[in-house]
Amino acid sequence: MALTTYVEAVRQGIWEEMERDPDVFLIGEDLGVYGGAFKVTLGMLERFGERRVIDTPISESAIVGAAIGASFMGLRPVAEMQFADFISCAFDQIVNFAAKCRYRWNAPAPIVVRAPSGGGIHGGPFHSQNPEAWFCHTPGLKVIAPATAYDAKGLIKSAIRDNDPVIFFEHKALYRRVKEDLPEQEYTVPIGKARVFREGRDLTVVTYGAMVYAAEEAANELAREGISMEIVDLRTLLPIDEETILASVRKTSKAILLHEATLTGGIGGELAARIAEKAFEHLDGPVLRIAAPDCPVPYSPPLEDAFLPNARKVIEKARWLYHY
C-alpha cells in the first residue's frame, strides 16, 4: 500500500467531509482552478463545483468575514490563509468576532481557518512564521497543530465538525516529508488530546508540529548514550491537554519545552508555568525552553538553519538537564 503524505492526508480529510456534509465548502485564494498554493484542494473544483470551492480576491479579512457570515446561516466553511503569516490581516475578524460569538449570544461559528505555517523552506520573514501563540491567548478559539499524517487527517475532520472556530496550523515543511500508512476506514482524532509520541524515563520533551521530528532525532541519538527521552506531542494547543503533560513530567521529573516559534511569549512559557505550579515537587531540575531567537525568520538558508531549533540544540539541552 502506498504511503500517504501529510499534505494528501489533509486533502483526504477535507474531501471526505465535503462528501459527507453538503454544508461544508471551501473559500480562499487560488483554491479552485489552481488547486491551492500547496495543492491541498486539487480536483475539488471539478468534483464539488464553484458554489462549494470559492476563489476569492487577495483579502484575508474578507475571506474570514464571509466564512463567519456563512457559518451563521448553517454552513461549515473551511477558509484558507495561503500562508499563516497573512492571517494577521484577518486578526480582528477571528479574535474579536468569531472567537466571541458563543460568549456574546450563544451563536456557534463553525469555521475552520487553515494556516500553512513554519520555516525550513527558505520562505523568508513573511512566509515562515509560527503565529499560534497569538490565538492561544484568545478564549473561544481552538488551535490545532498536527505533526503526523494520521493526525492531520483525523484532526481536520474533527475541526470541520466542531461548532466553534478552529485555527488549523499545517507545517509546510511536513507536507511532503512526512508519510504514513493510513487506515482505509474513516476515523477522527479528538481535539484537545495530546499523545505520548515516544515513551521515555529520564526526561520529557513537550512539543508539536515539525519539532516533534527534531525531538525524535535527538531522542534516537541520546538513546545511544543511555538517555531515555519521552516525547509528548500536543497536537492541540488550545485547549491544552494538561493531564497528559503533567503525567509525563511527574514520571520523568525533568521537562524541556520545544517550539519553532520565537521564544518570548511563546506557548513554552505557558507550559512552563503550569508545570511549575502543578508538578513542582516532582521536578529534579529546572524547566527548560528551546525555541527560535526573538528575530524575524531569515531568508538566507544558512541563517535560517541557525535560527530554527533542531536536534542538535535539543541534544545539548537534554544532556545538560539529564546530568543536572
For the cut 90, the answer to whether the pLDDT of residue 136 exceeds it is yes
Per-residue model confidence as pLDDT tens digits over 184-234: 999 999 999 999 999 999 999 999 999 999 999 999 999 999 999 999 999
Q: Are 61 and 150 in a shared domain? A: yes
Q: Are 100 and 149 in a shared domain? A: yes
CATH number of domain containing 311: 3.40.50.920
> Would residue 188 count as lying in a domain?
no
CA distance 62 to 262: 28
- Is residue 183 within 8 A of residue 170, CB to CB? The reply is no
> Would residue 45 count as lying in a domain?
yes
Q: Are 317 and 255 in a shared domain? A: yes
Four-residue CA torsion sign, 209, 212, 189, 203: negative
Q: Residue 89: CB partners within 8 Å, gap ≥ 6?
A: 59, 60, 61
**Can you give the pLDDT at residue 239?**
98
Confidence of residue 1 (pLDDT cuts 50, 70, 90): low
Confidence of residue 2 (pLDDT cuts 50, 70, 90): confident
Q: Are 212 and 316 in a shared domain? A: yes
CA distance 165 to 101: 10
- Is residue 177 within 8 A of residue 106, CB to CB? The reply is no
> Would residue 98 count as lying in a domain?
yes
> Would residue 190 count as lying in a domain?
no
> Would residue 152 count as lying in a domain?
yes
- Is residue 10 within 8 A of residue 152, CB to CB? The reply is yes
For the cut 80, the answer to whether the pLDDT of residue 25 exceeds it is yes
Q: Are 136 and 27 in a shared domain? A: yes
Q: Which domain holds residue 303?
A: 195-322
Last residue of a domain, one of 138, 156, 180: 180
Q: Any alpha helices (H) in 190-266, and if so which ranges?
A: 211-223, 242-252
**Omega before residue 139 within 30° of 0, cis:** no
CA distance 232 to 34: 37
Per-residue model confidence as pLDDT tens digits over 65-94: 999 999 999 999 999 999 999 999 999 999
Pairing of strands 112-117, 203-207: unpaired
Q: Specify the number of domains making up the chain.
A: 2
Q: Are 155 and 38 in a shared domain? A: yes
Q: Are 68 and 103 in a shared domain? A: yes
Per-residue model confidence as pLDDT tens digits over 137-159: 999 999 999 999 999 999 999 99
Report the 10 Å Cβ neighbour count for 74.
Answer: 9
Last residue of a domain, one of 128, 157, 180: 180
DSSP-based three-state secondary structure for 37 = coil
Last residue of a domain, one of 150, 180, 210: 180
Q: Are 164 and 225 in a shared domain? A: no
Q: What does the pLDDT average to over 33-46?
A: 95
> Would residue 229 count as lying in a domain?
yes
DSSP-based three-state secondary structure for 128 = coil
Q: Which residue has the cell 462549494?
A: 52
For the cut 90, the answer to whether the pLDDT of residue 236 exceeds it is yes
Four-residue CA torsion sign, 155, 160, 164, 165: positive
Four-residue CA torsion sign, 75, 191, 38, 186: negative
Confidence of residue 261 (pLDDT cuts 50, 70, 90): very high
Q: Are 75 and 159 in a shared domain? A: yes
Helix (H) or strand (E) holding 45: helix 44-48
Of 235, 228, 222, nearest in space to 196 by CA: 235
- Is residue 65 within 8 A of residue 91, CB to CB? The reply is no
**Can you give the pLDDT at residue 163?**
97
- Is residue 191 within 8 A of residue 159, CB to CB? The reply is yes
- Is residue 120 within 8 A of residue 173, CB to CB? The reply is yes
User: Which residues are known catalytic residues?
Assistant: 127
Q: Are 259 and 290 in a shared domain? A: yes
Average pLDDT, the chain: 97
Alpha-carbon separation of residue 216 from 54, 130, 199, 229, 314 (angstroms):
39, 20, 11, 9, 10
> Would residue 189 count as lying in a domain?
no
**Can you give the pLDDT at residue 126?**
94
Please report, rounded to a whole number, the percentage of residues in the chain having pLDDT higher than 90: 99
CATH number of domain containing 105: 3.40.50.970
> Would residue 214 count as lying in a domain?
yes
- Is residue 237 within 8 A of residue 191, CB to CB? The reply is no
Alpha-carbon separation of residue 123 from 118, 119, 173, 261 (angstroms):
9, 7, 11, 15
Q: Are 220 and 307 in a shared domain? A: yes
Q: Are 259 and 286 in a shared domain? A: yes
Q: What does the pLDDT average to over 237-242?
A: 98
Residue 303 has which C-alpha cell?
Answer: 541563517
